[in-house]
Amino acid sequence: MHHKLMTILLLALLAGCAQPQVEQPKANGAYLVIEGGEAWAVLVRDGKRIEEAGRVLDVVRLQGQESSISASYLIDTPNCGRLRWLTERGGEGEVTRVALGGNEARERPGCTIASDLSRAWTALDYSS
C-alpha cells in the first residue's frame, strides 16, 4: 500500500512538472546611437541584438518649426556603406521616429540590418 501511494504521489508531482513552457515576449527595437564621431545602428529582433558600428560623416540639425525634419545623420559603416537617417518633428515637438534614406545597404550581402531598414528607428544623439 505504501508503494502504491508513493507511486501515485510521484506521478502527480511529475505531471505538474510536465506543463508546457509559456512563451515569453521577446524584445524588439531599432536604434541609431550617435556619440561624437561614432555611430551604431542597433537592431534588437526577437531578443537578439545586431549591431552595425560606423562613423559619423555629417550631422545637420534644423532649429525652425517650418520643416518636418529636425535632424539628418549620415553615417558610414564597413558592411552597409553610407546610411542616412532623417528625424521627424511631430505636432507636439520632436519625435524620435526616423525615416531612412539610401538603398546602398540593401545591395550589400554583409549588411546584417538591411532587411530592417524600413522599420521605425529611434535616434539617440549623445553628442550635444
CA–CA dist 40, 100 (Å, integer):
14
pLDDT one-digit tens code per residue, 95-107: 666 666 556 667 7
Tell me if 84 sits within 8 A of 100, measured CB to CB: yes
Q: Is the pLDDT of residue 33 over 90?
A: yes
Neighbours of 95 (CB within 10 A): 15
- Range in 10-14, 46-50, 70-74 the model is least confident about: 10-14
Cell of 121: 528607428
Alpha helices, H only, the chain: 2-17
